Structure 1
Amino acid sequence: MPIKSSVHPAPQTTTTPLSPRHPDSSTTPPSHHIGAPPTTFKNPWPSFSTPGLHTLMKTRFKTTHQNYVPVPSSRATLVQVRVPDFTPSTSSTSNGLKATWIGHASFLIETTRAEGAARGMRIMLDPVWSERVGPYGLVGPVRFTPPPCTIDELPDIDAVCISHDHYDHLDSETLKKLNARQNGDLRFLCGLGVKSVLLGLGVGIRDEQVTEMDWWDGVRVAREGVGSVDVVCTPAQHQSGRSPWSFFKSLWCSWVVNEGGDEGKRLFFAGDTGYCHVTSDTQHSHHDAPHPPCPAFTEIGQLYGPFDLALLPIGCYSPRSVLSGQHSSPEDSIAIHKNVRSKKSIGMHYGTFRGAMSANYEPVTEPPERWKKAAEAEGLEWGTEVGVCDIGETVVV
């Protein structure tokens, strides 16, 4: 039997560090680090707060609630699913920065096709195809809306961005399949501490494939014959950990995707984030909060905006007294839309998985309804400045 070679061919996709751009609030050492070098991380703003363990457990295992609504049995009332079209653009009118929603927080991004290139740079954001997201696939939320395609039906991908290590954003089976179909020629971009998680999954990802970044760090991802794109790790207000003993051990983040140049398009992916902690379940947004909102989004908008497209979370936000510090309500994400100076924002992080904490508090059909209502209350044009899309649909800007 021939011995398989452990030598991998030179990757066609490369990464080069960019010079960091920091906001005026940056400190040395960074305020979100605990330890030097950091062993854990924190949200360094008054806008974040997390309830104690007793409150969390009481809320998590409370089995009844007056607002409980089961997932509708008819798909007609749920997010619609369409077969995605990954055909390369052949005309200038259809060419642009593209975002195809796979469900929850998973997107396939393709940059504007450069002149003479067959396609643009392709980046997967928080890819998850599994039916259940949790330890060993045995516990955790179950998908109630299917993916629009199989992993094998995807086009070639250049890089994967991971916002944090929670199971509904970092899925081992999905990453294993993606890496295998690319024959290991795939770059993984993540926050500090997530590299050890990726390498420990046992899915074939190699050390040299992974680039860890702190907030405000960036890299240029390039592929010969295709082009390049700048990807910047930016702050989010959340937390991390795939087990109780790993809470806050790795860094959570949002991402900026910048085509570069005066004419290049810019995309902001918020990942999983809160905006401002509120103390009551009747308080829905930062307008009701006793503390100021998270300042990071205004800083992101100042340094990298305006954005042509923002992908913002609008689901899994209830109960507010427990989740508001780390999960944005639709009203909160309208504020984020304005803070980052987005020209168009699409709602995500809903319609696919029901959060374990929010299952007894949040109807799965509520997020897009509140998203639209909140947008119109702020005078934003629905479908033009703020909107939603089908799973499998491609938004082009």
Structure 2
Amino acid sequence: MPPSTTVTPLPAKRPASYTTPPAHHVGSPPSSFKNPWPSFGQSKALSQIIKARFFPQETFVPVPADRKGLVEVRKPDFGASRNGLKATWIGHASFLVEAPKAEGKERGMRVLLDPVWSERVGPYGMVGPVRFTPPPCEVEDLPEVDAVLISHDHYDHLDSPTLKRLMVKQKDDLRFFCGLGVKSVLVAQGVGIKEDQVTEMDWWDGITLAKEGVGSMELICTPAQHRSGRKPWNFDGTLWCSWIVQDTREKQEEPKRLFFAGDTGYCHVPSNEQLSYHHAPHPPCPAFAEVGELHGPFDLSLLPIGCYLPRQFMSGLHSSPDDAVSIHRRARSKKSIGMHYGTFRGGISMYYEPVTEPPRRFREAAEAEGLSWGEELGLCDIGETVVV
């Protein structure tokens, strides 16, 4: 790697619940990983999954042919005329994030979160969900990027064709940060990623990423409630996570902080309830409150709101719009934007969840909780840059 980019470990800040060995490790050293909370619930039997997938109880609702009610797409300017903490939505869970630029610098540090530009996400590009909303630009239209953060190794978050295009665009000058075990997945994609370009991190690990002539930022790997695996025989063999991106400019009273929740559930719901899930009897995942206590408040959070139905199958893995409102509060976020909707349809969710439902329910849930729509909670167009 070019010597202009450096990675320096930070002292870990861990919650009081942290144990040695960590509760999310299976084995020591870990051979796989697990969600260590009752909020995850129990994994469904294969027969139940097959029944829900191939014999759905709901009527399939197609994507609107005229795109009415779907997310708008605009050509991005990446907030070029504004300074601050910036997040440009590429679609699904993909964002370009830029830290505030330091005095005298042309730009701030930039990271891509779960970049996906492919039309189809799945093995060999032959099976899997198909994109129904185009990306706002090409990979080659992006400004210079310093690093890529991967939340987990599922195909709709770790996309080989996109990473190959990024490596070519960046002339191989790119760092990658991921959970434990994901390095081997990245290197094995055959897109030119070398081992010394990848830094694996466990939950609560942090580093400072610095680039000569640009500046620095802190990246902290935090928990999420999800699963991993690109092959049926290797489920949960790599770690899933969320991420914190923090400004490190000097001479500021309070650094700007961003929380990217990645792909996560919030609480296990045993039936297809359409309720506000942060209330008993469904215990919430405690990780988000711990993230907020240790590293909040956050100026901006990026929270998943789609692919959550049917609840009895998806609630442990994917947040509903109501769940996202609860995560917003527990993580101590000042402003949160919905993501993980409006781009791809999930394999099971496509038979139960109209693609126009997540944004509508997100606003309804926010207003029901007395939160200011567009200020505390909101949505943005694909290609739009949110600046805080």
TM-score range (shorter-chain normalised) is: over 0.9
Deviations 1:295-344 (A, max 9, x none): 00000000000000000000000000000001000000100000000000
**Closer, same or farther: CA 287–233 of 1 in aligned 2, 3 Å:** closer
Q: Are 1:244 and 2:232 counterparts?
A: yes
Alignment partner, residue 348 of structure 1: 339
User: Secondary structure of the residue that 1:231 maps to in structure 2?
Assistant: strand
- Measured in 2, the distance between the counterparts of 1:262 and 1:235 equals 27
Alignment partner, residue 52 of structure 2: 59
One-letter amino acid of the counterpart of residue 103, structure 1: G
Q: Offset of 1:51 from its aligned partner?
A: 1.4
User: Secondary structure of the residue that 2:140 maps to in structure 1?
Assistant: helix
Alignment partner, residue 295 of structure 2: 304
Superposition TM-score, scaled by structure 2 size:
0.97
Q: Offset of 1:290 from its aligned partner?
A: 3.3
Gaps of 5+ in 1: 1-8
Alignment partner, residue 29 of structure 2: 37
Alignment partner, residue 360 of structure 2: 369
Superposed counterparts of 1:123-202, under 5 Å:
123-202=111-190
Superposition TM-score, scaled by structure 1 size:
0.95
Superposed counterparts of 1:259-298, under 5 Å:
259-260=247-248, 262-287=253-278, 290-298=281-289
One-letter amino acid of the counterpart of residue 10, structure 2: L
User: Secondary structure of the residue that 2:40 maps to in structure 1?
Assistant: coil
Q: Offset of 1:286 from its aligned partner?
A: 2.5
Alignment partner, residue 28 of structure 1: 20
Query: Is the CA contact 1:148–1:391 (under 8 Å) kept in the aligned structure 2?
Result: yes
Query: Is the CA contact 1:276–1:285 (under 8 Å) kept in the aligned structure 2?
Result: no
Which has the higher mean CA deviation after the structures are superposed, 312-321 or 57-66? 57-66
- Measured in 2, the distance between the counterparts of 1:373 and 1:119 equals 37
- Measured in 1, the distance between the counterparts of 2:239 and 2:99 equals 26
User: Secondary structure of the residue that 2:164 maps to in structure 1?
Assistant: helix
Q: Offset of 1:289 from its aligned partner?
A: 5.6
Query: Is the CA contact 1:12–1:185 (under 8 Å) kept in the aligned structure 2?
Result: no
Which has the higher mean CA deviation after the structures are superposed, 76-85 or 345-354? 76-85
Q: Offset of 1:60 from its aligned partner?
A: 1.4
Q: Offset of 1:88 from its aligned partner?
A: 3.4
- Measured in 2, the distance between the counterparts of 1:42 and 1:285 equals 26
Equivalent of residue 72 in structure 2, options 65, 75, 80: 80
Which has the higher mean CA deviation after the structures are superposed, 114-123 or 177-186? 177-186
Alignment partner, residue 3 of structure 1: none
Alignment partner, residue 389 of structure 1: 380
Gaps of 5+ in 2: none
Query: Is the CA contact 1:112–1:120 (under 8 Å) kept in the aligned structure 2?
Result: yes
Q: Offset of 1:106 from its aligned partner?
A: 0.1
Equivalent of residue 323 in structure 1, options 314, 317, 325: 314
One-letter amino acid of the counterpart of residue 222, structure 1: A
**Closer, same or farther: CA 283–372 of 1 in aligned 2, 3 Å:** closer
Query: Is the CA contact 1:236–1:253 (under 8 Å) kept in the aligned structure 2?
Result: yes
Alignment partner, residue 111 of structure 1: 99
- Measured in 1, the distance between the counterparts of 2:62 and 2:57 equals 12
Alignment partner, residue 46 of structure 1: 38
- Measured in 1, the distance between the counterparts of 2:87 and 2:383 equals 10
User: Secondary structure of the residue that 1:75 maps to in structure 2?
Assistant: coil
Q: Offset of 1:55 from its aligned partner?
A: 1.0
User: Secondary structure of the residue that 1:233 maps to in structure 2?
Assistant: strand
One-letter amino acid of the counterpart of residue 138, structure 1: M
Q: Are 1:16 and 2:12 counterparts?
A: no
**Closer, same or farther: CA 393–245 of 1 in aligned 2, 3 Å:** same
Query: Is the CA contact 1:130–1:171 (under 8 Å) kept in the aligned structure 2?
Result: yes
Q: CA RMSD in A?
A: 1.2
